[in-house]
Structure 1
Amino acid sequence: MQPLTDKLQELLDIPTLQPNEALCCFEEWDSLAMIALMSYAQKHYGVFINLDELCSAQTLQDICDLIETKKSQRGGGR
């Protein structure tokens, strides 16, 4: 999910982000960044992530897993 990684790097204003880095370590990981990422996920991946779900995600990998889970539920459940 390189586009997601790129978007998070842009939102956090950092050059690189490893999949298992803790997002809470970045000052820029705030509610505005979360809302921007929620919008990005809906636009680019067709999934809705609510704020509680995103707040529980600790790393980029957690967000990727969440998006993949929602994509598979959407495809398999309808």
Structure 2
Amino acid sequence: MENFLAEITEILEEESVELTDELESFEAWDSLTVLSIIALCDSEYGVALSAEEIDNSGTVLGLRELIESKM
């Protein structure tokens, strides 16, 4: 999880991302972004997430906690 913020920042096409940021507030937030997060979680963390779980996580911190809970 060391590079989590950097990876999410890249997926969201932002210069920086804070843990408190709402996922849906990003301009790049769409179904392709969700698919990119699903692929990242599978390849980097060995975790399978659904689009619904990602949407329900709400914030960047919520997403990180979701991933950690499944590791």
Query: Normalising by structure 1, what TM-score?
Result: 0.84
Code of the residue aligned with 1:44 in structure 2: it is: E
> What's the counterpart of residue 75 of structure 1?
none
CA distance in 1, matches of 2:30, 2:3: 20
CA shift for structure 1 position 29: 1.1
> What's the counterpart of residue 40 of structure 2?
40
Code of the residue aligned with 1:58 in structure 2: it is: G
CA distance in 1, matches of 2:2, 2:30: 21
Q: Where do 5+ consecutive residues of structure 1 fail to align?
A: 72-78
CA distance in 2, matches of 1:2, 1:59: 18
State the identity as a percent: 27
Indicate the structure with greater helix content: 1
Query: Aligned with 2:3: secondary structure?
Result: helix
Q: Where do 5+ consecutive residues of structure 2 fail to align?
A: none
CA distance in 2, matches of 1:4, 1:31: 20
Number of residue pairs matched? 71
CA shift for structure 1 position 55: 1.0
CA shift for structure 1 position 2: 3.8
Moved over 6 A (4+): none
Higher-Rg member (1/2): 1
> What's the counterpart of residue 62 of structure 1?
62
> What's the counterpart of residue 21 of structure 2?
21
